[in-house]
């Protein structure tokens, strides 16, 4: 085979990558035939080798624009949106945006890593119970003074975060176990300046470091008995636990949502696997966005839960995950059980004037020719396994996407 023909065939093979998959082989075959035909014509007319080479290479270069034109004309936006891959691409895109906007899931990474201080398991945050549905009250100056008088088994320090300034008592960094430095990340917050804490300001965060292996319940009981003008039992929470709380809450809610989804979907293994991946990706995107944009920056620096952190923020995540699961289940019912493409081409059959003998129904088809589905008219695109009618292979040639599985 002349070298120029081999070169042209190679160019056509590369250009064929631009052509739509279903048409690729046929398109390449036609172009290769044309190349041979062109070569034979030029040789028959006695064209010089350099002229034949130039003409054939110019002709082969045209294959690229022809393949691109074919792809453009074959592009069907509705078919593209109905593909199962589209459902997976959207949450992946959201995850990528959150990843870039959050410096590589910074809050998630910090929650997994915990605090980088020595013996972090001995650090606790103290609050008072507000006695209303788990809401906690920020301790006051009187609380801190009263607790300092009572207990010698825990070192206590006061702090307050105002914007990017951390106001602390003199012993704060001793209790925390690090040397003072800025910039400094404290419970998910960026600290750019450290200032002395004015204990007359009202509520303060109280950080404690257990000096001996005392049970938290025992410490809470001792501090609750301290004479202080404020009522309410004293609560202690591990600093590590407070920092990881949003991550653990998100993971457990997503897991529960996936279990509920899998119990409700009742599909064949392939469709069930698609449902699981689609739902898990969507829920992961929502969970990551919640931790990075809502929960992480709102971790109260005092570790004390108010109405926002105790109810509103978790409620927002639960609502978003429930909506996402509901949509995922609804979407699954509108898909072909074989190729998972969205069912399309709705056709109204029956008559609205004959509800009993010829009741109105809508027939939707798989665009790859796998079958059709009859659904009662008001509930368009809902797949009931009993209503699914399987078509044989001969129907596929009638459909535009018939070449794919």
Q: Of 252, 123, 147, 276, whose CA–CA distance to 199 is shortest?
A: 147
Binding mask 274-303 for Zn ion (x = CB under 5 A): ------------------------------
Minimum CB–partner distance for residue 76 and Zn ion (Å): 15
Q: In the set 338, 374, 380, 387, which binds Zn ion (CB under 5 A)? A: 338
Of the candidates 397, 392, 258, the residue with the CA atom closest to the CA atom of residue 338: 392
d(CA 210, CA 117): 14
Compare residues 14 and 389 and give the one whose CB is closer to Zn ion.
389
Residue 43's φ and ψ, nearest 5 degrees, are -65, -40
- Whether the CA torsion 47, 52, 54, 59 is positive or negative: it is positive
What is d(CA 74, CA 397) in angstroms, rounded to the nearest whole number?
A: 16
CB of 82 to Zn ion, least distance (A): 10
CB of 271 to Zn ion, least distance (A): 11
Round to whole Å and give the CA distance between 354 and 363. 17
Cβ-proximal residues to 146 (8 Å cutoff; 6+ apart), any chain: 226, 227, 228
Site map 3..42 versus Zn ion, x via CB under 5 A: ----------------------------------------
Residue 75's Cα: distance from chain center in Å? 28
Contacting residue, 11, 247, 366, 373, with Zn ion by CB under 5 A? 366
Least Å from the CB of residue 78 to Zn ion:
15
Distance CA 56, CA 47 (A): 12
By CB under 5 A, residue 343 contacts Zn ion: no
Among 194, 368, 373, 401, binds Zn ion (CB under 5 A): 368
Round to whole Å and give the CA distance between 192 and 163: 9
Among the listed ranges 46-54, 126-134, 285-293, 361-369, the one in contact with Zn ion (CB under 5 A) is: 361-369
CB of 22 to Zn ion, least distance (A): 15
Nearer to Zn ion, 88 or 260 (CB): 88
User: Is residue 370 near Zn ion by the rule CB under 5 A?
Assistant: yes
Q: How far is CA 232 from the centre of its chain?
A: 40
Number of residues forming the site for Zn ion (CB under 5 A): 6
Structure-block tokens of residue 28:
């390449």
Considering the complex, state which of residue 219 and residue 336 has its C-beta at the smaller distance from Zn ion.
336
Kindly write out the interface string for residues 143-172 of this chain, putting x where it contacts Zn ion by CB under 5 A and - elsewhere.
------------------------------
Q: Is 339 in the site for Zn ion (CB under 5 A)?
A: yes
Structure-token pair, residue 180: 């003072």
Q: Which residues bind Zn ion (CB under 5 A)?
A: 336, 338-339, 366, 368, 370
């Amino acid at each position: 085979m002349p070298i120029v023909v081999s070169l042209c065939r190679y160019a056509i093979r590369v250009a064929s990558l631009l052509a739509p998959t279903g048409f690729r082989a046929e398109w390449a075959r036609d172009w290769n035939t044309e190349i041979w035909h062109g070569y034979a014509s030029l040789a028959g007319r006695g064209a010089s080798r350099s002229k034949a080479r130039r003409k054939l290479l110019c002709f082969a270069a045209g294959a690229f624009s022809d393949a691109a034109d074919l792809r453009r004309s074959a592009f069907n936006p509705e078919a593209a949106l109905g593909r199962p891959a589209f459902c997976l691409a959207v949450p992946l895109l959201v995850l990528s945006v959150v990843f870039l906007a959050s410096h590589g899931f910074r809050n998630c990474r910090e929650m997994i890593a915990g605090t980088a201080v020595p013996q972090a398991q001995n650090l606790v945050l103290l609050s008072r119970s507000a006695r209303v549905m788990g809401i906690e009250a920020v301790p006051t100056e009187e609380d801190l003074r009263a607790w300092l008088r009572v207990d010698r088994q825990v070192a206590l320090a006061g702090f307050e975060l105002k914007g990017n300034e951390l106001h602390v008592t003199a012993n704060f960094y001793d209790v925390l176990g690090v040397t003072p430095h800025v910039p400094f990340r404290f419970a998910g917050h960026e600290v750019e300046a450290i200032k002395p804490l004015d204990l007359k300001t009202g509520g303060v965060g109280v950080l404690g470091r257990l000096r001996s292996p005392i049970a938290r319940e025992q410490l809470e009981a001792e501090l609750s008995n301290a004479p202080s003008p404020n009522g309410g039992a004293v609560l202690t929470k591990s600093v590590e636990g407070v920092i990881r709380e949003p991550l653990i809450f998100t993971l457990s809610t997503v897991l529960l949502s996936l279990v509920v989804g899998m119990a409700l979907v009742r599909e064949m293994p392939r469709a069930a696997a698609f449902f699981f991946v689609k739902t898990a990706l969507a829920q992961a995107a929502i969970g990551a966005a919640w931790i990075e944009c809502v929960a992480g920056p709102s971790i109260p620096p005092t570790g004390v839960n108010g109405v926002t952190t105790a109810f509103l923020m978790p409620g927002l995540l639960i609502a978003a995950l429930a909506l996402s699961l509901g949509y995922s289940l609804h979407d699954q019912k509108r898909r072909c059980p074989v190729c998972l493409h969205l069912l399309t081409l709705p056709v109204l059959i029956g008559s609205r004037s004959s509800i009993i003998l010829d009741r109105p129904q809508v027939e939707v088809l798989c665009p790859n020719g796998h079958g059709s589905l009859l659904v009662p008219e008001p509930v368009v695109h809902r797949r009931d396994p009993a209503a699914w009618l399987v078509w044989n292979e001969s129907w596929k040639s009638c459909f535009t996407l018939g070449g794919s599985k």
